[in-house]
Amino acid sequence: MSDFGMGSTFDPLADAIAGSVEAVDLRGFLVEVGVPDRDVDQAAASGTLERQELERIAEMDAPRYALEDIDAMSDVDRDRLRAYWRALGFPDPPPGEKVFSDADLDDIHRGSLEVLERTGVFVESDEAIDVMADGGCRVDRGTRTVRIPPYIVEDAVRSAPSTVRLAGRVPENDIVLEGGRVGFTNFSAGIMVRDPRTDEYRTSTVQDVADLARMTDYLDAIDTYEHAVEGRDAPETTLAVRDAAVGLKNTTKCVGTGAMSTYDVDAIVRMGAAVAGGEDRLRGRPLVYFCECPVSPLKITRDAAEVIMAAARHGIPNNIISMAMSGASSPVTLAGTLVTHNAEVLASLTLAQLTERGAPTIYGSSTTAMDLRYASASVGSPELAMISAGVAQLAQRYLLPSFVAGL
């Protein structure tokens, strides 16, 4: 053996023994952290045991969910999930293989909290700014920017009910929104119809609203009613109240409706109370619920703020639906879009809970990607379903009922 300097020696036999011990240790580590024996053998044969070890050490959180798990949790068909996974550039996972991680949800949650605390949201309503300031948020009234500390957001999430009942005029049409339950509604709202009698493509009318409410009432697969079209033959200023009235008259299912102001909310609640037998009974069995949308990116308009606060004070459920469009009004990446989407919903939920603690709130989404060819929302795209699956998981993380756009 030759002296190799620095007091070390060159000993091929000793090096070989040390190398085999190191290899045994690597194999043991990889097996211990769950790498299948077959994969360990392949890595040993190809000389990549060290890389396998580094990859395992670098993982922040091991995947916990297989496609079958996400299928059950999000109600998105596993074949679609498999297609989305491939579209993102990942290999097709074998049945039962864990490919989704809680770390993904944690990253989105932390990113949303950072956006709300540092960037904040634009709030157009002076009353909403006052409510949020009184609740501990940092307000710049000159720019109408409200920055929300993380502890306020998380307290708001905790105070929102995890179960929301949407009541029908007959109890058999009630639906309870909570973890593990899935229901369906029609979506709203179109402004054109294909006349079923003349085949004419024309502007929708109040009569169309009534006809479609009756049709929805007949369909067993639909659990709640939202006005599928708008009655464009009547004054636009009365649209929200009128369409809600038509729905209450023509369906025994819970009526989901938009509103544009505190006046609209108060009027619709009065109508619902008349049907239910009083506002207290309406609060216990809400025959109506509201749907309100923040504007991406990160804006709560005056209309949206008024409806959120008024619904909270009446104790009527409010479905807060972000409609971000990836690549247009939100980041082009799906993860970035989920962060801004989540921030918008959480900011609106916080406003509701600061207005009336315990206000029933639904975590909603109609967020999708922009079709770059036509600069339009690509509803029905793989991106929409992937976002919807993420939204459902986020809502489950927060113990909130969720609403997502379908395909």
Please calculate the CA angle 339-136-338 and round it to the nearest 5 degrees: 5
Same domain, 20 and 131: no
Which residues in the chain show pLDDT less than 50?
Answer: 1-24, 57-60, 98-100
Number of domains in the chain: 2
Residue type, 287: L
Same domain, 302 and 214: yes
- CB-based burial, 319-357: b 16+ in 10 Å, e otherwise: bbbbbbbbbbbbeeebebbbbbbbbbbbbbbbbbbbbbe
Residue 83, in any domain of the structure: no
Same domain, 113 and 250: yes
What's the CA dihedral at 67, 382, 221, 293 to 10 degrees? 110
State pLDDT tens for residues 318-374. Answer: 999 999 988 889 888 888 899 999 999 999 999 999 999 999 999 999 998 888 888
Evaluate whether 386 touches 84 at the Cβ level (below 8 Å).
yes
Residue with tokens 């993860």: 335
For 183, the token pair is: 């229901």
d(CA 235, CA 251): 23
Same domain, 166 and 288: yes
Same domain, 27 and 151: no
Residue 17, in any domain of the structure: yes
Residue 213, in any domain of the structure: yes
Residue 91, in any domain of the structure: no
Question: Residue 129 is part of which domain span?
Answer: 106-404
Same domain, 51 and 136: no
In 3-state terms, what secondary structure has residue 164? strand
Other CB atoms within 10 A of residue 271 CB: 19
User: What per-residue confidence (pLDDT) applies to 13?
Assistant: 35
CATH number of the domain that residue 297 is part of: 3.20.20.480
Residue 81, in any domain of the structure: no
Residue 84, in any domain of the structure: no
Same domain, 10 and 115: no
Same domain, 43 and 188: no
> Of 37, 59, 81, which residue is a domain's last?
59
d(CA 154, CA 136): 13
Same domain, 112 and 55: no
User: What per-residue confidence (pLDDT) applies to 12?
Assistant: 37
Residue 35, in any domain of the structure: yes
Same domain, 27 and 128: no
Residue 332, in any domain of the structure: yes
User: What per-residue confidence (pLDDT) applies to 332?
Assistant: 84
d(CA 175, CA 179): 13
User: What per-residue confidence (pLDDT) applies to 23?
Assistant: 43
State pLDDT tens for residues 72-130. Answer: 665 556 776 666 666 555 566 666 554 446 777 788 888 899 999 999 999 999 999 99
- From the CA atom positions of the chain, what is the Rg in Å? 27
Short-list 290, 285, 317, CA closest to 304 = 290
Same domain, 54 and 129: no
Same domain, 228 and 319: yes
Q: Residue 326: beta bridge partners?
A: 330, 369
